[in-house]
Amino acid sequence: MPDVALAQRLLNLLGSIPAERLPLGAAGTIRSLEDAVERNLERPLVVCLAGPTGTGKSRLFNAAVGRDVRAVGIRRPTTTDVGLAGREVAELPDVEVAEAPFDHIALIDLPPLEHDQDRTERIVALSDLCFVVTSAARYADAATATAIAIAERLGVPATIVVNRVPPGVPPDRLRQALIQRHGRRDVVLLPEDLAGRISGEPSGIAELLHLAVENADRIRRYRHDAAIDAAAIEAGRIADELDVEAASARQAIESIDRELARRSVPEALRPIIAGARWSEAMTQVDAAVRHEAAAVLAGLDVEPQADGDDGVVALGAWRQAVDDAAVGAMRLPVLRWFGERGVRHHLWRLAVDVDRPMPRTVRWWLGSRADAIRGAAADEFDAVFGGMLAGRIEPIRDDLERTATLPTDRIRSVADEILAEAYPTALFRLTPDIAALQAAAEAGIPFEGDR
How many domains does the structure of the chain reveal?
A: 2
Clarify whether residues 132 and 257 are in a common domain: no
How confident is the model over 321-337, as a mean pLDDT?
Answer: 70
Residue 209 lies in a domain: yes
pLDDT at 427: 55
Residue 2 lies in a domain: no
Tell me the angle at which helices 117-125 and 142-153 cross, rounded to the nearest 10 degrees. Answer: 40
What percent of the chain shows pLDDT beyond 90?
22
Q: Is residue 95 left, alpha or beta, with left meaning phi > 0 and alpha meaning psi from -120 to 50?
A: beta
Name the residue range of residue 169's domain: 44-222+423-442
Determine contact, residues 109/58, Cβ cutoff 8 Å: yes
pLDDT at 447: 45
Residue 415 lies in a domain: no
How confident is the model over 431-449, as a mean pLDDT?
Answer: 55
How confident is the model over 360-365, as a mean pLDDT?
Answer: 81
What's the pLDDT tens digit per position in 106-151?
999 998 888 878 888 999 988 989 999 998 888 888 888 999 899 8
Clarify whether residues 240 and 120 are in a common domain: no
Rg (CA), the chain: 40
What are the angstrom distances between the C-alpha of 316 and each of 139, 253, 311? Answer: 93, 31, 8
pLDDT at 130: 92
pLDDT at 107: 95
How confident is the model over 74-80, as a mean pLDDT?
Answer: 53
Q: Which of 59-63, 192-196, 230-234, 436-440 has the lowest mean pLDDT?
A: 192-196
What's the pLDDT tens digit per position in 47-58?
999 998 888 888
Determine contact, residues 176/442, Cβ cutoff 8 Å: yes
How confident is the model over 312-323, as a mean pLDDT?
Answer: 85
Residue 97 lies in a domain: yes
Residue 20 lies in a domain: no
Whole-model pTM: value is 0.58
CA nearest neighbour of 392 among 270, 287, 252: 287
How confident is the model over 367-396, as a mean pLDDT?
Answer: 89
pLDDT at 123: 92
Clarify whether residues 265 and 347 are in a common domain: yes
Cα(186)–Cα(192) distance, integer angstroms: 19
Clarify whether residues 164 and 64 are in a common domain: yes
Confidence of residue 450 (pLDDT cuts 50, 70, 90): very low
**How many other CB atoms are there within 10 angstroms of residue 337's CB atom?**
11
Domain CATH code at residue 206 = 3.40.50.300
Determine contact, residues 408/242, Cβ cutoff 8 Å: yes
Residue 12 lies in a domain: no
What percent of the chain shows pLDDT beyond 70?
82
Residue 131 lies in a domain: yes
Clarify whether residues 169 and 250 are in a common domain: no
Q: Which helix (H) or strand (E) holds 165?
A: strand 158-165
What's the pLDDT tens digit per position in 215-271?
777 777 666 677 888 899 999 999 999 999 999 999 999 999 998 888 888 888 899
Clarify whether residues 404 and 434 are in a common domain: no
**Rounded to 5°, angle at Cα 156 from 228 and 57:** 135
What's the pLDDT tens digit per position in 146-188?
998 998 888 888 888 988 888 778 877 887 788 778 775 678 8
Clarify whether residues 132 and 172 are in a common domain: yes
Clarify whether residues 57 and 99 are in a common domain: yes
Clarify whether residues 146 and 251 are in a common domain: no
Q: Please check the confidence at residue 276 and state whether its pLDDT lies above 70.
A: yes
3-state secondary structure of 63: helix
Q: In what order do the strands lie in the sheet with 158-165?
A: 97-98, 83-86, 105-109, 45-50, 129-135, 158-165, 186-191
Residue 393 lies in a domain: yes
* DSSP 8-state code for residue 90: T
Determine contact, residues 267/389, Cβ cutoff 8 Å: no
φ/ψ (deg, to 5) at 431: -115, 135
Mean pLDDT of the chain: 81
Clarify whether residues 106 and 137 are in a common domain: yes
Which carries the bigger pLDDT value, residue 303 or residue 137? 137
Residue type at 129?
A: L
What's the pLDDT tens digit per position in 14-36?
999 988 888 888 999 999 999 98
HSE-CB at 258 with a 13 A cutoff on CA atoms is: 7
* DSSP 8-state code for residue 352: H
Clarify whether residues 244 and 138 are in a common domain: no
Q: Which helix (H) or strand (E) holds 158?
A: strand 158-165
Clarify whether residues 402 and 433 are in a common domain: no
**Helices assigned H by DSSP within 263-359:** 270-275, 278-296, 308-329, 333-352
Determine contact, residues 318/421, Cβ cutoff 8 Å: no
pLDDT at 108: 95
Determine contact, residues 365/335, Cβ cutoff 8 Å: yes
